[in-house]
Structure 1
């Protein structure tokens, strides 16, 4: 079993870099090479090893007759004393024995990123020598037990228990006696109760408290303002409520303040946030804050990241924001901000890399000052009220990789593409719901975009044909052209896009037959092509509807959406070559002929929609072998004969077969006669090769079905 892991929204998992650097520097300075260790220390290490169920070959590295100071992961000092045990990422499985607590000179213990379970031995927490204890990313559980009253003055400075299964509350007795504690990271567990404040009283040097991704509730305790040395306070992704207490702004050394994804409310406008002049990261996203951004924000001149996304804030952006000249990330998406952006001098942000203003009410044109942010990598202005043509200045953003302008009122798509082609680093370009009723630029009038992997020009009501210049996008993986008025056939060059695995051309006026060249798309004909796809994450999440978002391209399904057009002819039998396909929708066309039995070769298929065509014949019984199929629809055709009863067909609703008067089966108006049943193809053998074990595949169906239900909620980008 892999260690329980989470992906924190921003910086939740590990200790801050400055603190880690301090700890490493401090501890390395204490270590010097040595030649041997004591017998007691060797026995303590071997006892730890014996308590593991899986040592991933560590036993072979720790040989009996060998000096333990030379063992893998062990460091001794000049006095032949073990001072460090570093066994992170070793694949260790089992419990932690208390024997490590007998290493009386041990100063650093790192067992992170393994599969250790059980409790955290009290002997380690109360050690008289350990200064840094890191057991993060394991499966340890239980409460943090109270230390005995005699255990005071422990040297422990850094305690990292994040990403485990710990539960319980932080009481006034928790970690009592740790007078030297500097940093506690307890993120990604299941701690309950309120945020503790007693650490500040126990240790005068306490400076880092990380509690992200727990089940903490209640309000933010005002007492945290008394932590005079506090530099990092993170409690995002909990169940906190109430307002930001005014006392919190007394902790003037704070550099990182994060309460993202809670239920906090109130206004920032009347707070004394300007007192936190050392802040470099302020993250209050995904809460219920309202009101305007205070003018005093401009006094936070060291600010590098500002996250106020997913709140209910409003008003115009203050001009004083221009004073935050060190900004790298500005995330204000999903609020009610309004007005034009010209008040903010974006030219003052030479280091800005990410600007996300999605889902607000900003209006006017894109200010020219944005184009002076030469280091900008991700720019999202989608779902606002911007208008006009794109400026040539946009071509100055040479580092731009992610651009979303979707759902605004921009015009002149030809001009836009001519400008954007000079952004050679663009990998994701989302332009949908703009350029309404214009003509799609055709042929060789557009070039560039050498690195483009995602292109979305959907729901623009564009006329014309699918242009040839798309064929020159050699690295294209996903193409979204749905919701336009494109006409003509699917171009024969479509299979030359060797990395294309997601094509949505639904709801257009495309005609002709479905070409056999479409059945030779490289990424859809082999199940072993995923390694060729871009493994990198999107610089910003790509949204498909209000709740579903993608962080990496390969998370998208391998899909063909051809529905809502005027395609004629038969479904090509060669469709069985698309073995990697997971979604196939060719509904609402004018297709005729039978359902090709070769579809049974699409063993990864989760969705098959052939509804609202003129298909004839019977449903091939070999389709019973599609054990991953979660959605099946052949309604409103001219099909006949019995509905197959094996495999997934017992799970599909009657509506999947409605509108086929000559089809029979349970739940339909036409019940099958013995003659019809006798003439039906039987079994699940044939083209798809023999019996397939149903039980194993069916266990996966439930999860696949739920995933699909979420994915079809909405089909637009932002």
Structure 2
């Protein structure tokens, strides 16, 4: 049987226990059991189950979430997602027949009663996704009695401490332990397999566990799942680890592990379905022996220091669904891999390496492929017509290669009807943006990036057909002419990025009617398939969906003239506005004060005149402001956020004054056109430059305009 990552072992174990142990509900329960349940209820805040339990005060077997067997004994209490708060009463431990307790996905706090862990009947205990706390030592119990507990899930809580030999002394029957997403310390426990010979699953991800991987794991003959990613582990993979030949999932991503994948050791894990070693410090090549792992479904080696050519034997792993080798130093031509053997492949992620040559035709035989990312390599040539075979493709990133013929590329891509994300910037250098009526077929496109290509021409009319478009990057080209008025007809467009082109004319007033920017109540037309891989990479991989992007309008670095339209005040959902480095004139419209969601405002390096509207101090969310290098005059507002902005936000406006820049507005400063005048300048040491605002501006604007770089998991999948 193949390992199914969508149905992990804890779920299988719970289901099996429930099927075996829980019978058809009986008609009543004992008085002692009813009392224990009511004591449990009394310890909680009032919630949805209280009414249900009180309506039938006699028969607790009919209470919501309570299951009894044919002997009128309570054998199950299942109350997930009920909004339960406060503490778990130890009285549940008095239910002598209770085999299954599920209190997951609530807001329970306090400790986990030892009476539940050491129950003489409990088989499955699930308290995951709560706010339970306490040290693991509190669960220690000195006894020679064997507890029947088989599945324990305490994940996603606030538990601390470390595993000791006494913590789980009585758990000789334990099969699965999930303690991930807590604050556990110490080392990976070294006694589970010795205590429980049937132990099969250990999940410790997202904790603070350190030290090396213990060699005892090799003695775990039944261990199927071992996950300890996102911890502080160091050292190498011990040779003994590969003696655990029943392993189906091995996950040590995001640690400090190093070493190489030994060709002789890796083949021992013949049952391995998922190998996750990404974000470590592994070096060396992928061994040829990887091809002997015929059950391998997912291979994650991203963000390591691995190098060399990919072994051709990788195509022998015909069950592969995902390959993620991003951010390494792999080289060679991809044509050496026969991808046509990988008919189950859905995600291929080879970005940020040094692959060269052309995109292999065999990739286009992977008809189940939904996400293909080959960006930041040295691939060249034209896109083949074969890419049209990928009918399921929804995510395609080819950014930063040496591809040519953008017109041909768009024509062959329009056959991928499910394409939602298309990232092809930093290719097609100095070509012309195609403006042909027969470019269509992108009706499901939500994200389009054709940036930094130095393309000439205008914004093409075919983009107006992209009815579902939400994010558009065309920055860093040589596009010219006026910004087309039809852009406002793109009903879902929330992020328009047009910097560093040669656009002329005025800012179209029609843009002030963009539906996604005029109302913060308008929701994005999100499709869950859009971002199967993150669009922007960075420490947090935060931009996984369009909704993570600020609603933004970037027109900076062009040759736009005229005034900022007064109608700009209609864009009430706008969070970031940058029209800097243009030839704009006239006043700053007071209507900008209506943009109460605005966080970044850059009007610098224009020819704006007049005073700064005092009403702008109502922009309480404004964290970055730059109006430098204009011809503004008069006092700088002192309320709201203005006192937090550095002097550099106002530089290059000699007629501005105010406490913010330590310039008294009582007397006029010299006007070069008129002659010298007396000015009084005072200093106030309490008004130092606020560097925080500068940092916020750089980070926020930088992330917003630089696509597919190392500043912009959990992606979909295991």
Q: Give me the TM-score of the superposition, normalised by structure 2.
A: 0.92
Structure 1: 5+ residue stretches without partners: 1-10, 677-700
Which among 31, 49, 71 is matched to residue 79 of structure 1? 71
Q: For residue 241 of structure 2, give the secondary structure of its aligned residue in structure 1.
A: helix
After superposition, the Cα gap between the structure-2 partners of 1:705 and 1:120, relative to the gap in structure 1 and judged at 3 Å, is farther
CA RMSD of aligned residues (A): 2.1
Which among 114, 117, 121 is matched to residue 129 of structure 1? 121
After superposition, the Cα gap between the structure-2 partners of 1:217 and 1:706, relative to the gap in structure 1 and judged at 3 Å, is farther
Aligned position for 1:51: 43
Aligned position for 2:674: none
Task: Please give the alpha-carbon distance, in whole angstroms, between the structure 1 residues aligned to 2:648 and 2:541.
Answer: 26
Is contact 2:657-2:663 (8 Å) kept?
yes
Report how far residue 705 of structure 1 moved: 7.7
How do 1:519-534 residues align onto structure 2 when only pairs under 5 Å count?
519-530=512-523, 532-534=525-527
Aligned position for 2:381: 388
Task: Please give the alpha-carbon distance, in whole angstroms, between the structure 1 residues aligned to 2:530 and 2:369.
Answer: 17
Aligned position for 2:614: 621
Aligned position for 1:440: 433
After superposition, the Cα gap between the structure-2 partners of 1:102 and 1:703, relative to the gap in structure 1 and judged at 3 Å, is farther
Report how far residue 704 of structure 1 moved: 13
Aligned position for 1:687: none
Moved more, 110-119 or 27-36: 27-36
Report how far residue 28 of structure 1 moved: 2.3
How do 1:213-228 residues align onto structure 2 when only pairs under 5 Å count?
213-228=206-221
After superposition, the Cα gap between the structure-2 partners of 1:54 and 1:432, relative to the gap in structure 1 and judged at 3 Å, is farther
Once the two structures are superposed, residues 281-326 of structure 1 have per-residue CA deviations (whole angstroms, 9 ceiling, x without a partner) of 0000000000000111011000000000000000000011111000
Once the two structures are superposed, residues 379-407 of structure 1 have per-residue CA deviations (whole angstroms, 9 ceiling, x without a partner) of 00000000000011011100000000000
Aligned position for 1:34: 26
Is contact 1:432-1:717 (8 Å) kept?
no
The reply to whether residue 632 of structure 1 matches residue 622 of structure 2 is no
Task: Please give the alpha-carbon distance, in whole angstroms, between the structure 2 residues aligned to 1:536 and 1:374.
Answer: 16
How do 1:424-573 residues align onto structure 2 when only pairs under 5 Å count?
424-530=417-523, 532-534=525-527, 538-543=531-536, 549-573=542-566
Is contact 1:642-1:672 (8 Å) kept?
yes
Which among 86, 94, 100 is matched to residue 94 of structure 1? 86
Once the two structures are superposed, residues 499-558 of structure 1 have per-residue CA deviations (whole angstroms, 9 ceiling, x without a partner) of 101000010000000010010101101111025444666110111667654111111100
Aligned position for 1:376: 369
The reply to whether residue 295 of structure 1 matches residue 288 of structure 2 is yes
The reply to whether residue 650 of structure 1 matches residue 650 of structure 2 is no
Which among 587, 593, 609 is matched to residue 594 of structure 1? 587
The reply to whether residue 138 of structure 1 matches residue 130 of structure 2 is yes
Task: Please give the alpha-carbon distance, in whole angstroms, between the structure 1 residues aligned to 2:238 and 2:506.
Answer: 66
Task: Please give the alpha-carbon distance, in whole angstroms, between the structure 1 residues aligned to 2:389 and 2:151.
Answer: 46
The reply to whether residue 577 of structure 1 matches residue 580 of structure 2 is no
Q: For residue 543 of structure 1, give the secondary structure of its aligned residue in structure 2.
A: coil
Moved more, 632-641 or 540-549: 540-549
Aligned position for 1:709: 699
Moved more, 140-149 or 100-109: 140-149
Which among 253, 268, 275 is matched to residue 282 of structure 1? 275
Is contact 2:644-2:693 (8 Å) kept?
no
Aligned position for 2:103: 111
Aligned position for 2:712: none
Report how far residue 668 of structure 1 moved: 3.7
Task: Please give the alpha-carbon distance, in whole angstroms, between the structure 2 residues aligned to 1:339 and 1:196.
Answer: 41
Is contact 1:228-1:253 (8 Å) kept?
yes
Aligned position for 1:304: 297
Q: For residue 524 of structure 1, give the secondary structure of its aligned residue in structure 2.
A: helix
Moved more, 295-304 or 19-28: 19-28
Task: Please give the alpha-carbon distance, in whole angstroms, between the structure 2 residues aligned to 1:159 and 1:222.
Answer: 24
Task: Please give the alpha-carbon distance, in whole angstroms, between the structure 2 residues aligned to 1:657 and 1:616.
Answer: 13
Q: Give me the TM-score of the superposition, normalised by structure 1.
A: 0.92
Structure 2: 5+ residue stretches without partners: 670-690, 710-718
Task: Please give the alpha-carbon distance, in whole angstroms, between the structure 2 residues aligned to 1:704 and 1:27.
Answer: 58
Moved more, 28-37 or 451-460: 28-37
Once the two structures are superposed, residues 26-81 of structure 1 have per-residue CA deviations (whole angstroms, 9 ceiling, x without a partner) of 32233222100001101100000000124235344443524100100000000000
Is contact 2:169-2:195 (8 Å) kept?
yes
Task: Please give the alpha-carbon distance, in whole angstroms, between the structure 1 residues aligned to 2:257 and 2:423.
Answer: 33
After superposition, the Cα gap between the structure-2 partners of 1:619 and 1:535, relative to the gap in structure 1 and judged at 3 Å, is farther
Report how far residue 15 of structure 1 moved: 9.7
Aligned position for 1:184: 177
Aligned position for 1:21: 12
After superposition, the Cα gap between the structure-2 partners of 1:15 and 1:497, relative to the gap in structure 1 and judged at 3 Å, is closer
After superposition, the Cα gap between the structure-2 partners of 1:238 and 1:598, relative to the gap in structure 1 and judged at 3 Å, is same
Is contact 1:545-1:717 (8 Å) kept?
no
Is contact 2:367-2:390 (8 Å) kept?
yes
After superposition, the Cα gap between the structure-2 partners of 1:339 and 1:551, relative to the gap in structure 1 and judged at 3 Å, is same
Q: For residue 264 of structure 1, give the secondary structure of its aligned residue in structure 2.
A: strand
Is contact 1:514-1:571 (8 Å) kept?
yes
Is contact 2:141-2:167 (8 Å) kept?
no
Aligned position for 1:329: 322
Is contact 1:126-1:151 (8 Å) kept?
no
Moved more, 529-538 or 77-86: 529-538
Task: Please give the alpha-carbon distance, in whole angstroms, between the structure 1 residues aligned to 2:319 and 2:181.
Answer: 30
Is contact 1:661-1:670 (8 Å) kept?
no
Is contact 1:180-1:205 (8 Å) kept?
yes
Report how far residue 18 of structure 1 moved: 4.5
Q: For residue 83 of structure 1, give the secondary structure of its aligned residue in structure 2.
A: strand
Once the two structures are superposed, residues 164-217 of structure 1 have per-residue CA deviations (whole angstroms, 9 ceiling, x without a partner) of 000001011111111100000000000000000201000010010000000000
Q: For residue 564 of structure 2, give the secondary structure of its aligned residue in structure 1.
A: coil
Is contact 1:492-1:517 (8 Å) kept?
yes
Is contact 1:510-1:565 (8 Å) kept?
yes
Is contact 1:544-1:711 (8 Å) kept?
no
Task: Please give the alpha-carbon distance, in whole angstroms, between the structure 2 residues aligned to 1:715 and 1:37.
Answer: 65
The reply to whether residue 273 of structure 1 matches residue 266 of structure 2 is yes
Which among 40, 47, 57 is matched to residue 65 of structure 1? 57
Report how far residue 703 of structure 1 moved: 11
Q: For residue 28 of structure 1, give the secondary structure of its aligned residue in structure 2.
A: helix
Task: Please give the alpha-carbon distance, in whole angstroms, between the structure 2 residues aligned to 1:215 and 1:545.
Answer: 22
After superposition, the Cα gap between the structure-2 partners of 1:404 and 1:604, relative to the gap in structure 1 and judged at 3 Å, is same
Aligned position for 2:161: 168
Task: Please give the alpha-carbon distance, in whole angstroms, between the structure 2 residues aligned to 1:550 and 1:181.
Answer: 40
The reply to whether residue 255 of structure 1 matches residue 248 of structure 2 is yes
Which among 235, 238, 243 is matched to residue 245 of structure 1? 238
Size of the alignment, in residue pairs? 683
Task: Please give the alpha-carbon distance, in whole angstroms, between the structure 2 residues aligned to 1:595 and 1:584.
Answer: 13
Task: Please give the alpha-carbon distance, in whole angstroms, between the structure 2 residues aligned to 1:221 and 1:569.
Answer: 69
Task: Please give the alpha-carbon distance, in whole angstroms, between the structure 2 residues aligned to 1:535 and 1:381.
Answer: 21
Is contact 1:128-1:154 (8 Å) kept?
yes
